[in-house]
């Protein structure tokens, strides 16, 4: 066989060997480039998915794209460690880890590139991403050092440098230092030219300004961000936040026009429900309730299963709750929130409000039925809530009012079934009652047993019972399961009902619950006050009356800021219910309780005085003990409190107002810097002024004939301290000035309300419990105004005979600012008269 010459083979190898070597090198280069290309494609896909999502949490598809990108980049690093794409692969792998939330792995990749490829052109980018990893891990010190090192470096691309300035702001934002972050974002926005990064600076600047309540700066920042944004999502975010900031500024029309820009942009159609809701919210804040409601109904009709619909139902519920007091409709809207969108952020609050409204509606119905029974002299059982209804074949169904023959037969058929199983008749009756407690009140066990025994001897009745047995036996298994499910639902509804006896104690307790709901849950203090006053007036002997009276003082103090009236109510609480826990708290707030400080002797004496006053009902012995405490321990911190307590007893227990004023004056002179002296100083100054007036009046009487005393309604009367013998919030409980009070001549100018009587009339509102009362028309009211412009007493020249209306008038007077009367160009305490028209009062 012929063979090729050796020289020819060598020549052929030389001719094609170099070509084969070059081809293999090219194929290897293509292999790692293709791998890196695939890594970049997966990363790009993950970026697109990340930018499309509207939540902060990554989707599963997004995570999978980043995972594949990291895997492909890892193959480049592992299989082609000397290739030109290794540093690119390391950075891409670190970014993929970052977006997956694997911050530690990402940080190690960026540090790896900076360690092994410090001269790479990707080093500045790696340093920037390293800082982002450190910020995300709350390592703020290292992050700040990394960013400053990056900005101090040379040959840093402009884009990277701009982002470094931006992330200095992000660093301060993550720290919660919003002022510093605002300055960083401002500097970054001023120097950055690239539109999208500049837009991000303005968005963050707006966020920081909103948190710092600088809504004007926030609105302008968001407006600039909206102009720069190229993505519909970002533009919507900027416009919505701009409108919200304008709404916070009270510029409602501008806010609505801003939200309308979203509705005119076809690229943001998926955000239209949210824009409509923001328009409704701005209109609601402006007070245009009907306009807001039209937008909300439009959302509910056109976008029923969206987050915007959930918020629309919630706001509609608030409108019916706060504006119209339509609690049933409000509850219906709150119930629809979760149906519209279970993931809406308002769902938990809507559920809570719905439950509270359900309790409110049941309590109101329960109270109405209980009071109706009490008014008729009956004290039976009352039930409210959803009652169980008749289901065919339901053995332990109980009708709502009367027992029909058919329903009774069902009950006795069930009893007979138990008796057949060996259960005695009495136990069978109690078994049925345990299954349905309401049966006890409609068909007591003794009656049930007697009727069962009587009917068991009646052939016609017994035949009907046997027929019911046969009907039940013929039921299919499916029917039995359906009956069991219906019975379970019926039992659940029965547990939600409220069953309670009609007694004054229960009525008062339920009204207290209603007051707490209105005050603390629904922010309706006036309605709560009406319920508390109703308890005090109608049910003063119940165990919750002290709590109701304390709640009255709480509203006067914290909501109406009427300290004087609140103190009067607390004093009334102490005297009327001295042994209640609320009275103990009232003493503490009035400064009548000893604190656990000072020598044991002083504290023991103070506690002994308390016992004498409250337990033994011996105020004079208590005063003697307190006076002995002051004499023995004049430098003890309990001494000024003891003097104050003596004056308080004179004023509120013994009704000795003049003596109380003298004791208060001694307290101010002896212990001027104590809180007790500060509390009584205005009264002491008033007392001194009254003494000076009395002295001048006496001197004038020596020089000429005594002035004729004007009638009591026009006299200028002032007492050393207010007469709080019956410090009830109702004005009808006020008593005339005691014999020791000082009467002075008519002032040169009578006190008058600032703004005239119209200002008082504007504050006059008919309370809920007097809505159906016969209104008296014009009423003459006498008002005592002290030298400081404070209302000290109110009397009615025209009897009202309605405590709720009296309290409404008294509140209107006290909620109005007054100009005191004057005598010889000095303010004095004086009486005046005004006329109030209840027919013009607000409802």
Same domain flag for 571 and 610: no
DSSP 203-225: HHHHHHHHHTT-HHHHHHHHHHH
Based on the domain organization, do 437 and 542 belong to the same domain? no
Kindly tell me if the per-residue pLDDT of 821 is higher than 90. no
Out of 445, 471, 502, a domain closes at 502
Q: What is the mean pLDDT of the segment spanning 364-384?
A: 75
The mean pLDDT value for 410-439 works out to: 67
Q: Are residues 741 and 727 in the same domain?
A: yes
Token couple for 208: 């920081």
Q: Is the domain of 456 the same as that of 409?
A: yes
Q: Are residues 572 and 611 in the same domain?
A: no
Q: Is residue 422 part of a domain?
A: yes
Looking at residue 60, what is its pLDDT?
85
Together in a domain, 748 and 635:
no
- Is residue 61 within 8 A of residue 49, CB to CB? The reply is yes
What pLDDT sits at residue 33? 67
Q: State the average pLDDT for the chain.
A: 78
What would the mean pLDDT of 439-452 be, rounded to a whole number? 62
Write down the pLDDT at residue 464. Answer: 63
Work out the pLDDT band at 775, boundaries 50, 70, 90.
Answer: confident
CB atoms within 10 A of CB 736: 11
Binned at pLDDT 50, 70 and 90, residue 683 comes out as confident
What is the pLDDT, as a whole number, of residue 586? Answer: 86
Tokens of 429: 């009756």
751 within some domain: yes
């005063």: which residue's tokens? 623
Residue 179: per-residue pLDDT: 92
Same domain, 835 and 719: yes
Shared domain for 833 and 739, answered yes or no, is yes
Q: Which of 413-417, 497-501, 527-531, 546-550 has the lowest mean pLDDT?
A: 497-501
pLDDT confidence of residue 670? 87
pTM: 0.56
Q: How many domains does one find in the chain?
A: 5
Q: Tell whether 55 is covered by a domain.
A: no
pLDDT, position 445: 65
Backbone angles phi, psi at 842, to 5 degrees: -70, 150
What is the reported pLDDT for 315?
96
671 and 653 share one domain: yes
pLDDT score, position 688 = 75
| 797 within domain boundaries | yes
Instruction: Name the range with the highest mean pLDDT among 10-24, 435-449, 718-732, 821-835.
Output: 821-835
Question: pLDDT digit string (tens) for 571-623?
Answer: 888 888 888 888 888 888 887 765 544 456 788 888 888 888 877 778 888 88
Stretch 473-485: mean pLDDT: 53
Whether 691 is in a domain gets the answer: yes
Segment 492-503 shows an average pLDDT of 59
Cβ–Cβ under 8 Å, residues 734 and 793 = yes
If DSSP states are collapsed to H, E and C, what string results for 681-728? HHHHHHHHHHHHHHHHHHHHHHHCCCCCCCCCCCCEEECCCCCCCCCC
120: in domain: no
Rounded to whole angstroms, how far apart are CA atoms 625 and 613?
10
Q: Which among 93, 142, 152 has a CA at the least distance from the CA of 122?
A: 93
3-state SS track over 431-456: HHHHHCCHHHHHCCHHHHHHHHHHHH
**Rounded-to-10 torsion of CA 599, 603, 605, 607:** -170
Q: How far is CA 351 from the centre of its chain?
A: 14
CATH number of the domain at 814, please: 3.30.2420.10
Mean pLDDT in residue range 275-286: 95
Q: Is residue 502 pLDDT above 90, yes or no?
A: no
**349 is written with which tokens?**
């609050």
- Average pLDDT on 755-766 reads 88
User: Of 502, 517, 548, which one is at a domain's C-terminal end?
Assistant: 502
690-715: pLDDT as tens digits: 677 666 666 655 554 444 333 333 33
Domain around 477:
405-495
Query: Looking at residue 763, what is its pLDDT?
Result: 87
Range with lowest mean pLDDT among 35-49, 331-345, 377-391, 408-422: 377-391
Whether 141 is covered by a domain: the verdict is: no
Same domain, 674 and 755: no
pLDDT digits 0-9 by tens, 546-566: 999 999 988 988 888 877 778
Residues 421 and 369 in one domain: no
What integer is the mean pLDDT of 244-253? 95
pLDDT bracket for residue 666 (50, 70, 90): confident
Among 348, 360, 408, which Cα is nearest to 385's?
A: 360
Name the band, by pLDDT with cuts 50, 70 and 90, for residue 286.
very high
How much is the pLDDT for 510? 92
Does one domain contain both 380 and 318? Answer: yes
Residue-wise pLDDT tens digits, 76-109: 888 877 778 788 889 999 999 999 889 999 999 9
- Considering 701, 732, 763, which residue would you say is the last residue of a domain? 701
Evaluate whether residue 277 is within a structural domain. Answer: no
């Amino acid at each position: 066989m012929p063979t090729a010459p050796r020289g020819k083979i060598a020549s052929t190898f030389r001719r094609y060997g170099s070509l084969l070597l070059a081809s293999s090198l090219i194929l290897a280069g293509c292999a790692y480039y293709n791998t890196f290309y695939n890594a970049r494609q997966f990363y790009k896909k993950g970026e697109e998915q990340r930018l499309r999502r509207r939540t902060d949490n990554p989707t599963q598809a997004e995570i999978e794209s980043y995972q594949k990108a990291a895997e492909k980049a890892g193959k480049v690093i592992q299989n082609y460690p000397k290739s030109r794409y290794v540093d690119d692969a390391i950075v891409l792998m670190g970014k993929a880890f970052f977006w997956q939330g694997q911050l530690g792995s990402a940080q190690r990749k960026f540090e790896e590139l900076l360690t092994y490829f410090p001269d790479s052109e990707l080093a500045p980018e790696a340093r920037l991403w390293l800082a982002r990893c450190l910020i995300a891990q709350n390592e703020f010190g290292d992050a700040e050092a990394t960013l400053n090192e990056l900005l101090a470096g040379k040959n840093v691309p402009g884009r990277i440098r701009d982002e470094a300035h931006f992330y200095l702001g992000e660093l301060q934002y993550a720290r919660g230092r919003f002022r510093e972050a605002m300055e960083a974002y401002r500097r970054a926005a001023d120097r950055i030219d690239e539109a999208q990064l500049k837009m991000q600076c303005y968005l963050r600047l707006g966020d920081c300004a909103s948190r710092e309540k600088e809504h004007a700066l926030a609105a302008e920042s968001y407006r600039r961000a909206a102009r720069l944004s190229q993505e519909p999502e970002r533009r919507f975010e900027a416009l919505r936040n701009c409108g919200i900031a304008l709404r916070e500024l009270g510029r409602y029309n501008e806010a609505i026009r801003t939200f309308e820009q979203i509705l005119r942009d076809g690229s943001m159609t998926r955000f239209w429900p949210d824009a409509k809701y923001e328009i409704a919210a701005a209109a609601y804040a402006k007070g245009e309730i009907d306009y807001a409601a039209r937008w909300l109904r439009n959302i509910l009709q056109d976008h029923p299963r969206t987050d915007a619909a959930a918020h629309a139902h919630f706001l509609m519920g608030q409108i019916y709750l706060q504006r119209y007091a339509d609690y049933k409709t409000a509850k219906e809207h709150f119930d629809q929130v979760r149906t519209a969108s279970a993931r809406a952020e308002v769902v938990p609050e809507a559920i809570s409000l719905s439950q509270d409204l359900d309790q409110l509606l049941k309590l109101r119905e329960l109270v109405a039925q209980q009071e109706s029974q009490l008014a008729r002299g009956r004290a039976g059982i009352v039930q409210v809530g959803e009652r169980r209804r008749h289901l065919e074949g339901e053995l332990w169904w109980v009708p709502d009012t009367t027992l029909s023959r058919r329903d009774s037969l069902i009950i006795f058929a069930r009893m007979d079934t138990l008796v057949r199983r060996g259960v005695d008749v009495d136990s069978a009756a109690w078994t049925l009652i345990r299954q349905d407690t309401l049966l006890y009140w409609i068909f007591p066990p003794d009656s049930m047993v007697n009727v069962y025994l009587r009917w068991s001897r009646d052939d016609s009745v017994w035949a009907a019972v046997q027929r019911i047995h046969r009907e039940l036996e013929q039921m299919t298994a499916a029917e039995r399961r359906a009956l069991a499910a219906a019975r379970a639902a019926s039992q659940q509804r029965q547990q939600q009902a409220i069953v309670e006896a009609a007694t004054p104690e229960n009525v008062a307790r339920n009204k207290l619950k209603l007051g707490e709901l209105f005050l603390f849950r629904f922010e309706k203090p006036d309605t709560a006050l009406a319920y508390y006053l109703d308890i005090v007036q109608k049910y003063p002997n119940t165990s919750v009356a002290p709590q109701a009276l304390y709640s009255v003082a709480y509203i006067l103090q914290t909501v109406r800021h009427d300290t004087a009236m609140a103190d009067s109510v607390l004093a009334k609480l102490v005297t009327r219910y001295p042994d209640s826990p609320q009275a103990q708290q009232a003493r503490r707030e009035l400064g009548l309780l000893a604190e656990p400080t000072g020598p044991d002797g002083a504290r023991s004496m103070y506690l002994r005085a308390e016992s004498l006053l409250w337990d033994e009902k011996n105020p004079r012995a208590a005063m003697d003990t307190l006076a002995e405490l002051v004499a023995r321990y004049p430098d003890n911190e309990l001494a000024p409190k003891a003097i104050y307590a003596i004056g308080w007893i004179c004023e509120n227990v013994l009704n000795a107002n003049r003596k109380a004023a003298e004791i208060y004056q001694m307290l101010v002179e002896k212990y001027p810097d104590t809180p007790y002296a500060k509390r009584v100083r205005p009264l002491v100054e008033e007392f001194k002024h009254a003494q000076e007036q009395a002295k001048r009046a006496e001197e004038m009487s020596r020089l000429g004939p005594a002035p004729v005393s004007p009638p009591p309604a026009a006299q200028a009367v002032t007492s050393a301290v207010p007469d709080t013998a019956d410090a009830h919030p109702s004005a009808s409980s006020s008593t005339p000035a005691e014999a020791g009070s000082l009467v002075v001549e008519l002032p040169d100018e009578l006190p008058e309300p600032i703004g005239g009587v119209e200002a008082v009339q504007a504050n006059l509102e008919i309370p809920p419990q007097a809505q159906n009362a016969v209104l008296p028309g014009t009423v003459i009211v006498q008002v005592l105004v002290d030298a400081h412009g404070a209302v000290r007493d109110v009397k009615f020249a025209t009897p009202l005979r309605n405590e709720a209306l009296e309290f409404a008038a008294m509140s209107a007077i006290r909620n109005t600012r007054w100009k005191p009367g004057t005598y010889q160009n000095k303010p004095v305490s004086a009486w005046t008269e005004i006329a109030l028209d209840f027919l013009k009062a607000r409802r």
